[in-house]
A and B are shown apart, each in its own frame.
Chain A
Amino acid sequence: EAAVTQSPRSKVAVTGGKVTLSCHQTNNHDYMYWYRQDTGHGLRLIHYSYVADSTEKGDIPDGYKASRPSQENFSLILELASLSQTAVYFCASSDRGQDSDYTFGSGTRLLVI
């Protein structure tokens, strides 16, 4: 079954440390995305990619980097984690069609202390 798998499911990080969140999809989708969800709020786009070896900035890219080494894998990197980056992070994938919906991963709950 086609799916989006995120790892880890949860993580506690120290302020100033490096954090890498991973995402793997088996949907054969071209597009992949990283969103952030803060308590009581919707999803905001951090980075996205429409082809391997290329990433694009979303609406809130500051403090984050992304890497897409293959069609299946998309990582979100926090080089210097900060308290304000405590949130739930969702990875998603979609096909190229403008009417394509997203398939979401289960989310990664990140706590920065």
Chain B
Amino acid sequence: AQKVTQTQTSISVVEKTTVTMDCVYETRDSSYFLFWYKQTASGEIVFLIRQDSYKKENATVGHYSLNFQKPKSSIGLIITATQIEDSAVYFCAMREYNTNTGKLTFGDGTVLTVKP
């Protein structure tokens, strides 16, 4: 069964610095999709960025980028030039390719606090 683990419970950084959040996953499928979501203090959950397992290039969207290390089953989220409003809970999630359920399996999340 697929499993997603985020080992960092919380991280605190100073504004304008770079932060990396870790995520490791387990799957039997050779093809899969990895997602990162952000949950704000209000509870809203929004999609940030996706990595397709068959792509070697790391995905980048705005000041979010991924560090995909397939041999290590690892997908880190990198936020550059952090801002106060980046303070939130970040979830890593995975979907196996050979599924018709659309199901995403989520990690427990990492709380990011960005301080002035």
Does A56 have its Cβ within 8 Å of any Cβ on chain B? yes
| Complex contacts, B105 vs chain A, CB 8 Å | 45
Does A33 have its Cβ within 8 Å of any Cβ on chain B? yes
Contact of A102 among B47, B52, B101 (CB under 8 A): B47
Q: How far is the CA of A35 from the CA of B91 in the complex (A)?
A: 14
Of B14-22, B72-80, B106-114, the one touching chain A: B106-114
Bitwise interface map of B from 32 to 51 toward A, beta carbon under 8 Å scored 1, else 0: 01010100000111110010
Contact of A96 among B33, B102, B108 (CB under 8 A): B102
Q: How far is the CA of A99 from the CA of B43 in the complex (A)?
A: 24
Q: Does B43 contact A88, Cβ atoms closer than 8 Å?
A: yes
CB distance from A38 to the nearest CB of B (A): 10
**Please, which residue of chain A has its CB at the minimum distance from the CB of B99?**
A98
Q: How far is the CA of A45 from the CA of B103 in the complex (A)?
A: 8
Bitwise interface map of B from 51 to 72 toward A, beta carbon under 8 Å scored 1, else 0: 0100000000000000000000
Does A74 have its Cβ within 8 Å of any Cβ on chain B? no
CB distance from B40 to the nearest CB of A (A): 11
Q: How far is the CA of A58 from the CA of B2 in the complex (A)?
A: 13
CB distance from A13 to the nearest CB of B (A): 19
Does A64 have its Cβ within 8 Å of any Cβ on chain B? no
Bitwise interface map of B from 81 to 108 toward A, beta carbon under 8 Å scored 1, else 0: 0000000000100010101111111111
| Complex contacts, B102 vs chain A, CB 8 Å | 31, 33, 48, 50, 94, 96, 100
18 A–B contacts, CB within 8 A, in A order: A41-B108, A41-B109, A42-B91, A42-B106, A42-B107, A42-B109, A45-B104, A48-B101, A48-B102, A56-B101, A58-B103, A90-B45, A100-B102, A101-B47, A101-B50, A102-B104, A104-B44, A107-B45
